[in-house]
Amino acid sequence: MEVTRLATSLGAVGLLLTIGGFSLPLLALEAENMASIILGIGTLCLLGYVGIHFQGLVKGSRKRSARLGLHSILAIFLAALAVGLTNFLADKHGPEWDFSETKNFTLSRQTYQVLRALPREVNIHVFTRDGSPGYGAYQDLLTTYDKESPLLTVEFIDPERHPDKAKAYQVTRIDTAVIESGPQQIYLQRASEADMTNALLRVTRDIKKGIAFTTGHSEKSISNKETPGLSRAADALNKQGYEVNTVNWKNIHSSQAAALIIPSPTESLLPEDVNQITQFLRNGGRLLILNDPSSQNSLEPLLSQWGIHLGVGILADEQDRLGRGSPTALMVRTFTTHDITENFTTPIIFPVARSVTFDVAQGKQWDYEPLAHTSAKSWEEMTLTKTEPVFDEGLDPKGPFAVAGVLTSKRVGQDLKPESAIIIVGNAAFATNGWLTYPGNIDFFLKTMAWLAKEEALVSLTPKEPAFHPFVPNPSQEQSLVFFQVLFLPLLLLFLGLSVWKRRRSL
């Protein structure tokens, strides 16, 4: 009797320990060793139960019903084993098909070429956790990347469970991916094929391209961490793999930077400053000019020789503006088909912007293309003393207006000089610390710099738009849906139920 009780206890304990051993890793990933110990003890308990009841099991197995039951159990086990092995082999070696509408799980041809030509090992550390907004997107994207190259290693890290690793990589934001190879590191904030492929290209290069901000005429500073500063812009460029520094106007002609940024100087340029920029462009230099309305005409001597003119007034837009605030806070959402802005759907916020126009007669040596426009309901506010801008017919020019444009040098004959390029934006505040956090602003700034630095990989990969298009009903449709779902369907089901009940009662 005591032996029977002991066997029953061993069986119950063994069963509970086995279930617990399998369940523990699902609750705590770091408890795998403890789970193995629990499974071992549970197995010993079950073996003890079988040993005590061994004679009874042998006698019972001789019965016909027992043999049929054992055969059924064996058949089920073999079928489960076959299904499991088939799934394992299909997961490791089976072909894959992408049936999504936008081919969201199929990499572009350029990405396949980059992955197959990786010169060295690349480690990707994704700081995310299950349930965060970017977890699924990173997992879907990087699973495909990982299968295409043996030199790629992907690791998902929960920053809350491993704060030491997050601190070591200076990660302060969830859903951040760190791509590193050798001494190079690049940070990404979203799961984008274009950004990821471009990061792989940059991180496997030993030489960083330089980006220089001009100083000497009261420009916005990259060392300023306050709202009007550009410290976040410099940090974003650093995390994209660029070497960021400053250059004085006196030394611009000798700068080896891949691109130069003039961040809205407030002091007028001197003739020698104009000569410095001219010489920089003759050597194939590439330039980004940011100009706030508060800068007045400080850049006029430079811009006029290229045929560029900035508006005298301030742009206002009743249709594309930030919320219900001032119409001068533009939310620009109309873009051209240039490489920078093609398929660009995220609006850019331009607080207090000026228009950008091009005079063909003055800029004969340049090809011009606008990048972004205000809406048809915009105007140029000429009365700058108004607290609430209102369109005045006959006084304020009517839109749309270009707020950014690009100049590229024309080639003459067999001229083999490198192509120079200039991008002019009628606003500098969008790139400052107070506004760069907006997704459209950071994307536009980084894509602009990538194009100027001749990082074509970033802008040549077209992002895939999601196939999901949510239905947003109007008020009348909302009322119809409420009536149908809350009243009509329940009453219909009640009526059908009563009808069936009445018919059964009459049988």
CB atoms within 10 A of CB 76: 10
pLDDT in tens, the chain (507 residues): 566 676 677 767 777 777 777 676 666 656 667 777 877 787 787 777 667 766 665 665 566 665 666 666 655 665 666 666 567 556 655 555 555 555 556 777 778 878 888 889 999 999 998 888 888 889 888 888 888 888 999 999 998 889 899 899 888 888 899 999 888 888 888 888 878 888 888 888 777 889 999 999 989 999 999 999 999 999 888 877 788 999 999 888 888 889 999 999 999 888 899 999 989 988 889 999 999 888 877 888 889 899 999 998 899 988 888 876 778 888 898 999 898 888 787 889 998 899 999 999 888 889 999 999 999 999 998 887 777 788 888 888 998 999 999 999 987 655 667 789 999 999 999 999 999 988 889 889 988 998 998 875 554 454 454 444 455 455 556 677 777 777 788 888 888 888 888 888 776
Q: Tell me what pLDDT residue 26 has.
A: 63
Query: At 234, which CATH number?
Result: 3.40.50
Q: 3-class SS at 374?
A: coil
Same structural domain, 421 and 285? yes
Flag whether the pTM goes above 0.85.
Answer: no
Q: Tell me what pLDDT residue 505 has.
A: 77
Same structural domain, 327 and 420? yes
Q: Three-class SS string for 306-339?
A: HCEEECCCEEEECCCECCCCCCCEEEECEECCCC
Same structural domain, 308 and 360? yes
Query: At 155, which CATH number?
Result: 3.40.30.10
Q: Tell me what pLDDT residue 445 has.
A: 93
Residue 223 within a domain: yes
Longest dimension (CA), the chain: 109
**Strand residues in 143-267 grouped as ranges (E):** 152-157, 176-181, 184-188, 210-215, 243-248, 259-263
Q: Tell me what pLDDT residue 98 has.
A: 55
- Whether the CB-CB separation of 194 and 201 falls below 8 Å is answered with no
Q: Tell me what pLDDT residue 463 has.
A: 45
| Rounded alpha-carbon distances, angstroms, from residue 436 to 17, 21, 35, 372 | 54, 49, 47, 17
Q: Tell me what pLDDT residue 118 has.
A: 87
Q: Tell me what pLDDT residue 367 has.
A: 92
Residue 87 within a domain: no
Q: 3-class SS at 380?
A: strand
Q: Tell me what pLDDT residue 437 has.
A: 87
Q: Tell me what pLDDT residue 327 has.
A: 84
Same structural domain, 309 and 413? yes
Query: How far is Cα 423 from Cα 207, in angstroms, rounded to an integer?
Result: 25
Q: Tell me what pLDDT residue 79 has.
A: 65
- Which amino acid would we find at residue 130? D
Residue 503 within a domain: yes
Handedness of CA 419, 247, 180, 207 (dihedral sign): positive
Same structural domain, 394 and 483? no
- Whether the CB-CB separation of 213 and 246 falls below 8 Å is answered with yes
Residue 155 within a domain: yes
Query: How far is Cα 418 from Cα 281, in angstroms, rounded to an integer?
Result: 9
User: DSSP secondary structure string, 261-289?
Assistant: EEE---SPPPHHHHHHHHHHHHTT-EEEE
What residue numbers bound the domain in which 316 lies?
A: 210-460
**Strand residues in 33-96 grouped as ranges (E):** none
- Cis before 400 (ω within 30): yes
Q: Which of 57, 44, 51, 58 has its CA nearest to residue 3?
A: 51
Number of domains composing the chain: 4
* Residue 220 CA from chain centroid, whole number: 27
Query: How far is Cα 105 from Cα 147, in angstroms, rounded to an integer?
Result: 13
Helix ranges (H only) for 371-488 are 439-452, 456-460, 475-482
Q: Tell me what pLDDT residue 427 has.
A: 93
Same structural domain, 408 and 282? yes
Q: Tell me what pLDDT residue 459 has.
A: 46
Query: How far is Cα 370 from Cα 456, in angstroms, rounded to an integer?
Result: 19
